[in-house]
Structure 1
């Protein structure tokens, strides 16, 4: 006869899992969590670092320099040294770099939609870029660089 606390014949208790499977599962979960944390950290939006206010005399020099560069682009386009499309692109780049140099806003990397949705501060820049876009991206070249350059120079003259 069998004892009351002994298992029936042919019955074997299950083998316990090895501890290494538990630690392997924990390591995999930690690696997945670390991956998500790394992706979040590297793709999060950065805070805009606004440089300290620039000195008035430097602002005056920057305004004069960028206005002169815009005039130079227009003169090159009028002479035929560069295409109208290229002139529109260069004026857009000049205005965006001026805004970045004066205020620290990363305007050179912003699309027209980004500029428009960035608030009231960038409204003048979005208007200039909106005027320049047809000349940059239209199927045919347009001779609108003169008017677009005037608007660009107004923004350069008034931006602070």
Structure 2
């Protein structure tokens, strides 16, 4: 039997516009790119160890930091800065020297962190321990000369 003609008033469904195909494909691509970006941005990065200064650079650092220590002591002796401020500046100088010379983040370490870091930071922790009373005691301490000598010693012997 031949196919019956459609009844009057019946219309075939309209096909979807190609635009919706591209919108759907774009959304799928956006979701895939989102997952790829999340994976890429949260993956473990290779850890690079601290870069130590060697040779001429280490000698320049030693000379520069020794000069800065001498300037702090001279300013304290001249009365330009207080003993407490001089102790604080020496602590900052020693810690920054260690960071520049070895790459160890000493400026952000507490005394407990320095002591717990082992033999490498032993001299630094002893100098910082000597500086703490001058920095934080209720009264200013007159221990700048020996603290400066310890700071110079750390700078001179660091390797």
Tell me if both proteins adopt one fold, taking TM over 0.5 as the criterion. yes
Partner of 1:126: 125
Q: CA deviation at 1:99?
A: 0.2
Q: Report the CA distance between 1:50 and its aligned residue.
A: 1.0
Q: 1:108 maps to what in 2?
A: 107
> What is the CA-CA distance between 1:48 and the residue it aligns to?
6.9
* Equivalence for 1:156: 155
**What TM-score do you get using the length of structure 1 for normalisation?**
0.69
**1:95 and 1:48, CA in 2 relative to 1: closer, same or farther beyond 3 A?**
farther
Q: Show the counterpart of 2:90.
A: 91
Give the TM-score taking structure 2 as reference length. Answer: 0.69
In structure 2, the residue corresponding to 1:115 is in which secondary structure?
A: helix
Question: Deviations 1:26-47 (Å, cap 9, x if unpaired)?
Answer: xxxxxxxxxxxxxxx8xxxxx6
**Post-superposition shift, 1:55?**
3.3
> C-alpha separation between the residues in 1 aligned to 2:155 and 2:53?
15
How many pairs does the alignment contain?
115
Give 1:120 shift: 1.0
Deviation of 1:143 (Å): 1.2
What is the alpha-carbon root mean square deviation over aligned residues? 1.6
Deviation at 1:86, TM superposition (A): 0.4
Q: What SS does structure 1 have at the residue aligned with 2:154?
A: helix
Q: Return 5+ residue gaps in structure 1 as ranges.
A: 1-40, 42-46
Deviations 1:116-148 (A, max 9, x none): 011111101000000000000000001111110
Are 1:73 and 1:91, in contact at CA under 8 Å, matched by a contact in 2? yes
Whether the 8 Å contact between 2:53 and 2:100 is mirrored in structure 1 is no
Partners of 2:75 and 2:85 lie apart in 1 by 10
- Unaligned 5+ runs, structure 2: 1-41
